[in-house]
Amino acid sequence: MTTSASPSLAVNVGGIAMQNPVTVASGTFGYGVEYADWLDVRRLGAITVKGIRLEAWPGNPLPRHVEVPGGLVNAIGLQGPGVAGFIAQYLPRLREFGVPVIVNIWGTTVEEYAEVAARLSDVPGIAGLEVNVSCPNVKAGGSAFGADPATMAGVVAAVRRRTPLPVIPKLAPNVPAMGPFARAAAEAGADALSLVNTLPAMVIDIERRRPVLANRVGGLSGACIHPVAVKHVYDAAQAVKLPILAMGGIQEAREAIEFLIAGATAVAVGTANFIDPSTPLRVIDGIRDYLVRHQMRDVAQLTGSLAVS
Amino acid sequence: MTTSASPSLAVNVGGIAMQNPVTVASGTFGYGVEYADWLDVRRLGAITVKGIRLEAWPGNPLPRHVEVPGGLVNAIGLQGPGVAGFIAQYLPRLREFGVPVIVNIWGTTVEEYAEVAARLSDVPGIAGLEVNVSCPNVKAGGSAFGADPATMAGVVAAVRRRTPLPVIPKLAPNVPAMGPFARAAAEAGADALSLVNTLPAMVIDIERRRPVLANRVGGLSGACIHPVAVKHVYDAAQAVKLPILAMGGIQEAREAIEFLIAGATAVAVGTANFIDPSTPLRVIDGIRDYLVRHQMRDVAQLTGSLAVS
Amino acid sequence: MPLGEAAILEQTPVSGGYCLLRLAAPELAAAAQPGQFIHLRIPGLETTALRRPFSIYRAGAGELAILYKRVGRGTDVLATLPAGTRLSVMGPLGNGFPLASGDRLPILVGGGYGVAPLVFLATRLPRKGVVLLGGRRAADVLCIADFEALGWSVEVATQDGSLGTEGLVTDLLGRHLDAGAPPAELFACGPDGMLRAVGTRAIAAGCRAWLSLDHHMVCGIGACLACVQRLREADGSIHIARVCKDGPIFEARTIVWEDPA
Amino acid sequence: MPLGEAAILEQTPVSGGYCLLRLAAPELAAAAQPGQFIHLRIPGLETTALRRPFSIYRAGAGELAILYKRVGRGTDVLATLPAGTRLSVMGPLGNGFPLASGDRLPILVGGGYGVAPLVFLATRLPRKGVVLLGGRRAADVLCIADFEALGWSVEVATQDGSLGTEGLVTDLLGRHLDAGAPPAELFACGPDGMLRAVGTRAIAAGCRAWLSLDHHMVCGIGACLACVQRLREADGSIHIARVCKDGPIFEARTIVWEDPA
Ligand SMILES: Cc1cc2nc3c(=O)[nH]c(=O)nc-3n(C[C@H](O)[C@H](O)[C@H](O)COP(=O)(O)OP(=O)(O)OC[C@H]3O[C@@H](n4cnc5c(N)ncnc54)[C@H](O)[C@@H]3O)c2cc1C
Ligand SMILES: Cc1cc2nc3c(=O)[nH]c(=O)nc-3n(C[C@H](O)[C@H](O)[C@H](O)COP(=O)(O)OP(=O)(O)OC[C@H]3O[C@@H](n4cnc5c(N)ncnc54)[C@H](O)[C@@H]3O)c2cc1C
Ligand SMILES: Cc1cc2nc3c(=O)[nH]c(=O)nc-3n(C[C@H](O)[C@H](O)[C@H](O)COP(=O)(O)O)c2cc1C
Ligand SMILES: Cc1cc2nc3c(=O)[nH]c(=O)nc-3n(C[C@H](O)[C@H](O)[C@H](O)COP(=O)(O)O)c2cc1C
Ligand code: FES
Ligand code: FES
């Protein structure tokens, strides 16, 4: 794929070696297999799958989503097959793609997070764990663990103790400052950071005077959250040395390049997959073109290259 | 303006009697006089002016704004004439409009906030103070005071001690949960709450690899923040009994009605003024039409009318 | 089926706010099965606007048609696009109707744009049968001529009585499900309330009813879990299916209807 | 001037990516002064898209024209709008050029779309003078015929030498500011670098230069403080002016140029 003149796109995110810096955001790409008919998933830097807890989980009632200007509000509620179901139904096929698999995990207790991590560490074919402490759509678990640095760090430390896999906490954007969260995660043993999750949001049907979503609230994703995410990525990169996996509103290579310049090592395409499944590949190509045009030999030169006066 | 058949639009926001529930958001309507040629400002429920501190303040270097999908990122940096300048240059003309004037205040220290409040309490023609503890665009002051409930409450309490005017803290949207802030503000003596300010954001010029804004970061406003603001308003209304002045992304009456249903007593139109200065009047008319259509006699029936199952 | 583009061949208002859209899409047309849908990206909408799903109305000879109703900003924009415009299309998606063996009389029940997939189905079923069409008023009842041209017998009910019987389309079902009527198999597409009523009657009459569900969708291919539907398996266990991928067509007996919100 | 709507009368590509847009706007046309601008809302852009400012190129007989260059998504969309489209227009905005008394020779200096307000100015100044026009290449030099028809003498400089002198428009200034030349007053509109150079030369030559600044704008009417410019008052104190409301035209001596970013 790369000729000698072509810049190097390979990156390493906390121990996960990726052929290029582009993965997909958890929950927007199913378990990898669903989109396999629609793009060459072997070209991705990694595949990040939908959140998994210990047991199967039904998710929220419908409606689970609503479109808003420049974005999408979802409250899927982390429906999933549980660890055993994931390993049996999806992992074999995922392994065949030959790209690193990042599993997004969550739990309703700290112990559950750790247990999920341990179980996933026993099976081959998983490259790393993204620890979701920021899902706004479940009552227990999710954002309840991500609202303050100490609680979040407790989850990260518990997971860390039970797995040799790279641990990547996924942080919430609705915080006053990302620095304290980034530092707490680093101290708790995180190998990289993933940011950001969706912004808690609510949409009301004014005719019925009811929330549109059955879950009342959901998480805002898509183009409109990109400038918010870039600020968080920049702040996290200033605070810690950990590699950052950045996401939020990537639609084209441009938004991904902003993340890299702000300090991200890799990026994930989320909501845009729904609109155009070829987005991750266009982003990979766009990053390569940018590097060529700016005479950079390695995407690492882009990471953190922001000049501030 | 109201015939006998017409529903009542009058509201009271923490002691500020407004003929209708629609004001303008601080910083998007200058000092009231600038837009007087473009709409009948006498029809507004109140006029909220740009942030004022003790002394004149130059604001940030240019560029101070950048357009993004569904929104605007600004870093004006609270440029203003200071208390004395405001009283001399703008207040006389503002008084003539005959609608309540809400002055948005800030300071670089807690004492300065209190001093500004005291000085503005000595002059006639000011209906209330909106206390900005959430501006993302100044180094000292602004969001530094709004990042945790206790610090924020300290500012509110200090202002409270120095003014008999209604005190309305203006809160930031980038918090894990609005409840603790709302409760802290209430306990510190706030008469109402104003929410939300802009979301901290960053936009990078990828060709130059520099932040677009001279201030590096700015605040995101406009349509895209509306679902985030609605959630905060709902949470605040669940947490405290204080009247809420809601803002963030109002473009038409629909978004304002969502805020009222979520629990707001009044709303403010911000960024939309720049695009269509008649927005506040269209919103007033749209709320009236909605009340008529839904056979409500008073806009108070709308406030907090959200049905949740 | 890779992600493709298709050019608009024709865009014609029909009646009652409905429009016919013909697309040049040879591969898609060749693969399409009745009951499947396409997921269209509508150009000119704001950033992050999702695709919109539409049932396949006709497919063949290198082209594919849908029949859509203008109901919101997506379909409003769609209606303005001139012939020649290229659209990004995902499809054909979903499971499609089972093509019955022919030993039972097929009865198609359609409401509103729900007739679209039934027309396509009528062209492929091995045996002709009866079509029951409903709508609020005459303008909402589409495709009568299509079915008649295919040799199907058509009965109509409108709520205002402006065409056919006054009442609901489900009122027309009774006589066809009578003990004395020939054994039937039902295929229905339309609003939830109608589907539910068709399902209830089919179950009572002991015949199968294939219902095409109209859930809002995001990805359209089974990845996001926005469109789920609880199903009761033969063994009584509950299974969460995705309408876009495992459906949109499910047999009435398996569907667990949620209480009306 | 209340917020109004104006219908597009004509939309014509000129050269070098420039277009002429004529609007039916009687009140606005009657009130417009040279150097003022209009703030246009461009339909079809995404939610929360700001208005775009454009200098008034011609005004009179119930209509108003602008000359715009396609440079981004707003002007790209603008260029697609057919005659008859109604646009929301705020204007006329800004202070406008002072209309000199006629005791000094007016010299107009324009670069790119900066010529637009100068054409309007040339129609209103009490005395005819000299116009110096610059651009990268011949296609960027607009309105020569306009000025000549008004009886002004035109000199051109292009960077590639494809029209007039090879070089910058400011190179043409020298001879007109010589000690021997008649006392002049300068009016300039164009890119920052050009304005700054014009200002520096005018100050050196002891004559006034009225510069029209091109700051990005939000409200366009002085309310948001997005477009500020520091000015040095006669007494040496610094004053922060709003380009949209207090400008866009300022006398060179008062402008405090920021260091290039
Ligand atoms: C499998 C399937 C087949 C369909 N076939 C047809 C058809 O043949 N002809 C036709 O006219 N319509 C059909 N629909 C409905 C069609 O998708 C919606 O009418 C359309 O998406 C409305 O888009 P809008 O932007 O105009 O409306 P808006 O109300 O502005 O849409 C807002 C959002 O809600 C979704 N939405 C709104 N109404 C519906 C609905 N009834 N069903 C699903 N999503 C909806 C939109 O996709 C969009 O995401 C079908 C839906 C499904 C699920
Ligand atoms: C007082 C004044 C008079 C002007 N007169 C003319 C004119 O007569 N003809 C003409 O072609 N252009 C003129 N401009 C510039 C014109 O406003 C911009 O070219 C236009 O806004 C670009 O919009 P866009 O969406 O195509 O570009 P984009 O780059 O997509 O715009 C993004 C944002 O940047 C702003 N912007 C981009 N370029 C400029 C610029 N050069 N100046 C100010 N804002 C900019 C836009 O308004 C918008 O908010 C004038 C600008 C000002 C301030
Ligand atoms: C439908 C949907 C489902 C999601 N599910 C998960 C999930 O299971 N776990 C998780 O950590 N994030 C989840 N997310 C968040 C995304 O991974 C991503 O952080 C967010 O959408 C921002 O990126 P985007 O703007 O590119 O979509 C989900 C997002 C969407 C839209
Ligand atoms: C240009 C601009 C200037 C602003 N200045 C202030 C300010 O001085 N004080 C303040 O409290 N909020 C300020 N804000 C925030 C607004 O008052 C409002 O809270 C925010 O823009 C959200 O509303 P909107 O989405 O309707 O614009 C400013 C916003 C903008 C866009
Ligand atoms: S729409 Fe995504 S799973 Fe059905
Ligand atoms: S653009 Fe708002 S003050 Fe000039």
Which tens digit of pLDDT belongs to each residue from D110-162?
Answer: 998 899 999 999 999 999 999 999 999 999 999 999 999 999 999 999 999 99
β-pairing verdict for D4-13 and D86-93: antiparallel
C-chain residues near B70 (CB < 8 A): 46-47
Q: Indicate whether C69 and C136 sit together in one domain.
A: no
pLDDT band at C261 (very low <50, low <70, confident <90, very high): very low
Domain around C190: 105-254
Q: Which of D52, D73, D93 is the last residue of a domain?
A: D93
What is the C-alpha separation between B16 and B234, in angstroms, rounded?
Answer: 21
Q: Looking at residue A16, what is its pLDDT? A: 98
Please name which of D188, C26, C55, B228 lies closest in space to residue A173, comparing C-alpha atoms.
Answer: B228
pLDDT at B1 over 80: no
Q: Which residues line ligand 2 (CB under 6 A)?
A: B 67; D 37, 50, 52-55, 66-69, 71-75, 113, 116, 214-217, 248
For ligand 4, atom 22: residue with the closest CA = B248
Say yes or no: ipTM exceeds 0.90.
yes
**What pLDDT is attached to residue D2?**
58
Any residues with Cβ below 6 Å from ligand 1, and which?
A 67; C 37, 50, 52-55, 66-69, 71-75, 113, 116, 214-217, 248
CA angle A157, A160, A163 (to 5 degrees): 155
Q: Which ligand is nearest to the CA of C112?
A: 1
B63 alpha carbon, closest ligand: 2
Mapped onto helix, strand or coil, the DSSP state of residue A12 is: strand
What is the overall mean pLDDT for chain D?
93
Which residue in D has a C-alpha nearest to residue A224's C-alpha? D47
Q: How far is CA D187 from CA B101, D105, D217, in A?
A: 42, 11, 22
Question: For position D48, what pLDDT does the model report?
Answer: 79
- Which DSSP string corresponds to C171-223? GGHHHHHSTTSPPEEEEEES-HHHHHHHHHHHHHHT--EEEE-----SSSSSS
Cβ of B221 below 6 Å from ligand 4: yes
Strand order of the sheet with strand A22-24? Answer: A22-24, A266-269, A244-247, A193-195, A167-171, A128-132, A101-105, A47-52
Residue-averaged pLDDT of chain B: 95
Interface of B with A in 139-198 (CB under 8 A): 143, 146-148, 172-177
Are A56 and A78 in contact, with CB atoms under 8 Å apart?
Answer: no
The interface residues of chain D toward chain A in range 48-67, judged by CB-CB distance below 8 A, are 48
Q: Is residue B34 within 8 angstroms of chain D, CB to CB?
A: yes
| Together in a domain, C117 and C240 | yes
Residue C246 φ/ψ, nearest 5 degrees: -85, -20
Domain end among C52, C70, C93: C93
Residues 6+ apart with CB under 8 A from B133: B106, B142, B143, B145, B146, B152, B155, B156, B169, B170, B171, B172
Cβ–Cβ below 8 Å for C218 and A214: no
User: Is the confidence at residue C184, as pLDDT, over 70?
Assistant: yes
Q: CA dist B274 to A3, B30, B72, B284, Å?
A: 50, 11, 11, 17
What is the rounded CA–CA span in Å between residue A64 and residue C225? Answer: 8
d(CA B146, CA B169): 9
Residues D111 and D235 occupy one common structural domain: yes
Which amino acid, A38? W
What angle separates helix A110-121 from helix A149-162, to the nearest 10 degrees?
30
Calculate how far, in angstroms, residue C52's C-alpha sits from the geometric centre of ligand 1. 6
Give me the number of domains chain C comprises: 2
Mean local confidence (pLDDT), C158-183 = 91
User: Are B152 and B91 within 8 A, CB to CB?
Assistant: no
pLDDT in tens, chain A (309 residues): 444 479 999 999 999 999 999 999 999 999 999 999 999 999 999 999 999 999 999 999 999 999 999 999 999 999 999 999 999 999 999 999 999 999 999 999 999 999 999 999 999 999 999 999 987 766 666 677 888 999 999 999 999 999 999 999 999 999 999 999 999 999 999 999 999 999 999 999 999 999 999 999 999 999 999 999 999 999 999 999 999 999 999 999 999 999 999 999 999 999 999 999 999 999 999 999 999 999 999 999 999 999 987
Assess if residue C19 is contained within a domain: yes
The catalytic position among A39, A99, A135, A199 is: A135
- Under CATH, what is the fold of the domain A11-301? TIM Barrel (3.20.20)
Cβ-contact A201, A175 below 8 angstroms: no
Is residue D83 within 8 A of residue D8, CB to CB? The reply is yes
3-state SS class at D213: coil
Give the whole-angstrom CA distance, residue C44 versus residue B196: 30
Query: What is the gyration radius of the CA atoms in chain D, in angstroms?
Result: 18
User: What are the tokens at B299?
Assistant: 């806009």
Region at A307 (left for phi over 0; alpha for psi -120 to 50; beta for the rest): beta
In a domain, D259, yes or no: no
The three-point CA angle C196-C157-C113 to 5° equals: 60
**Is the CB of B198 inside 8 Å of chain D's CB atoms?**
no
- Which amino acid is residue B236, in one-letter code? A
- Of D66, D93, D120, the residue at which a domain comes to its end is D93
- Distance CA(D256)–CA(B181), nearest Å, equals 43
* Closest C-alpha to D114, from D129, D134, D95: D134
- The preferred substitution site among B74, B143, B198, B244 for testing ligand 4, maximizing ligand atoms within 8 Å of CB, is B198
A238 phi, psi to nearest 5 deg: -75, -30
User: With 50 as the cut, is the pLDDT of residue B2 above it?
Assistant: no
Whether D201 and D165 map to the same domain: the answer is: yes
Decide if C261 touches B, using CB distance below 8 A: yes
Q: Which tens digit of pLDDT belongs to each residue from B175-209?
A: 999 999 999 999 999 999 999 999 999 999 999 99
Q: Are residues D49 and D174 in the same domain?
A: no
Give the pLDDT score at A82.
Answer: 96
Kindly state whether residues C70 and C114 are assigned to the same domain.
Answer: no
Q: Residue B139 is encoded by which pair of tokens?
A: 């180094």
Which of B73, B175, B223 minimises the CB distance to A69? Answer: B223
> pLDDT-based confidence at D101, cuts 50/70/90?
confident
E-only strand ranges, chain B:
11-13, 16-18, 22-24, 47-52, 65-68, 71-74, 101-105, 128-132, 167-171, 193-195, 199-202, 204-205, 210-211, 217-221, 244-247, 266-269
Q: Whose CA is nearest to atom 53 of ligand 1?
A: C214
Q: Could you say which DSSP state residue B5 is in?
A: T
CA A88 centroid distance within chain = 23
Q: Residue B99: how many CA atoms within 13 Å on its side-chain side? A: 25
Q: Domain spans of chain A?
A: 11-301
A4 touches D: beta carbon within 8 Å: no
- Spell out a b/e string for B290-305, using b for 16 or more CB atoms within 10 Å of the CB, else e: bbeeeeeeebbebbbb
Residues C159 and C228 reside in one and the same domain:
yes
Q: Which H helix or E strand runs over D31?
A: helix D26-31
Nearest CA to ligand 3 atom 11: A132
Protein residue closest via CA to atom 33 of ligand 1: A67
CA dist A299 and A291 (Å) reads 7
Ligand nearest to the CA of A71: 3
> Is the Cβ–Cβ distance between B302 and B237 less than 8 Å?
no
Write phi, then psi, for B261 (nearest 5 degrees): -60, -35
Q: Is D56 helix (H, G, I), strand (E, B) or coil?
A: coil
C-contacting chains (≥3 CB pairs under 8 Å): A, B, D
Burial of residue C81 (CB within 10 Å: 0-12, 13-18, 19+) is middle
Q: Is D258 on the interface with A (CB under 8 A)?
A: no
Residues 6+ apart with CB under 8 A from D103: D183
Does residue B204 contact residue A230 with C-beta atoms inside 8 Å? yes
CA dihedral A220, A221, A222, A226 (to 10 degrees): 100
Residue D174 has what pLDDT? Answer: 87
Nearest to C49 by CA among C5, C94, C88: C88
D100 within some domain = no
Q: Which of C52, C213, C242, C246 to probe ligand 5 with, by most ligand atoms within 8 A of CB?
A: C242
Classify burial at B233, counting beta carbons within 10 Å of its beta carbon; exposed 0-12, middle 13-18, buried 19 or more.
Answer: buried
Of D47, D51, D224, Cβ closest to residue B70: D47
What is the number of the ligand closest to the CA of D71? 2
Distance between C225 CA and the closest CA of chain A, angstroms: 7
Check pocket membership of D4 for ligand 6, CB cut-off 6 A.
no
Interface test with B, best of D52, D73, D224, D246 (most B CBs within 10 A): D224
* Within a domain: D113: yes
Backbone dihedral angles phi then psi of residue A130, each to the nearest 5 degrees: -100, 120
Whether residue B169 has its Cβ less than 6 Å from ligand 4: no
Cβ–Cβ < 8 Å for C68, C78 = yes
Q: Do D85 and D110 belong together in one domain? A: no
Whether residue A309 lies within 8 A of chain D, CB to CB, comes out as: yes
Identify whether residues D78 and D155 lie together within a single domain.
no
Q: Does the pLDDT of residue D105 top 60, yes or no?
A: yes
Asked, for residue D260, whether it belongs to a domain, the answer is: no
Nearest ligand 3 atom to the CA of A72 is 31
pTM: 0.97
Q: Which of D213, D224, D229 to mutate to test the pocket of ligand 6 (most atoms within 8 A of CB)?
A: D224
A112 touches chain B (CB under 8 A): no
SS3 A288: helix
Cβ distance of B203 and A146 shorter than 8 Å: no
D80 and D199 belong to one structural domain = no
Report d(CA B188, CA B150) in Å as an integer: 9
CATH number at residue D26: 2.40.30.10
Distance from the D88 Cα atom to the nearest Cα atom in chain B, whole angstroms: 9
Summary mean pLDDT of chain C? 93
Query: DSSP string of A158-220?
Result: HHHHH-SS-EEEEE-S-SS-SHHHHHHHHHTT-S-EEE--PEEEE-EETTTTEESSTTSEEEE
* Nearest-angstrom CA–CA distance, C249 and B48: 55
